[in-house]
Amino acid sequence: MEDIVLRQWRDSDLEPFSAMNADPVVMRHFPALMTQAESEAALRRWRKVIDDSGWGLWAVEVEGVFAGFTGLSAPRFEAAFTPCVEIGWRFRQSFWGRSIAYRAAVQAVQFGMESLHLNEIVSFTAVENLRSRKLMERLGFTHDPAGDFDHPLIPEGHPVRRHVLYRKKAAPASAVH
């Protein structure tokens, strides 16, 4: 089985990260492709969050190669379900279909629940992003239809503005006898 490592970002991640963010297939459920400058800004921002807090959206390395990212973050917008911690991910196409996103996300969820003692982690995506929705369900997240929302950072009328909300509650602490 392939080794999957969640780690801090490196300067050498920028080129494959930018290429992934400019890939129309990878980005089809996002409002736009990302420019090189936008990718570089995201990498710097995410690196600083991890430096400052010890967690965030980590680079995912598979057998020494940058595969994408997964991790935890606080959404940068207000909605009925915020403040919260969400899990997110994005992977290069060559790493799809190999359970890498699932295995990396399991590590991130476990960190959030065990190390950060989160009571809940949310995840959301565009309604038609069935691939991510299936991954959320495989991870044990449950769709909360009452929480579905129009993403406030996506312009009105954009086809990916409507989002579905999924939730995963922490397992109740077992009673000590």
Residue 144 falls inside a structural domain: yes
Number of domains present in the structure of the chain: 1
d(CA 73, CA 85): 5
DSSP state of 43: H
pLDDT at 174 over 90: no
Does the pLDDT at position 102 exceed 90?
Answer: yes
**68 near 95, Cβ under 8 Å?**
yes
CATH code of the domain in which 165 resides? 3.40.630.30
Whether 174 is covered by a domain: the verdict is: no
In a domain, 49, yes or no: yes
Q: pTM score > 0.85 for this model?
A: yes
Strands 65-73 and 57-62: antiparallel
Q: What is the pLDDT of residues 108-136, one digit of tens each?
A: 999 999 999 999 999 999 999 999 999 99
Average pLDDT score over the chain: 96
Domain that holds residue 114: 4-169
Compute and round to an integer the Cα radius of gyration of the chain.
16
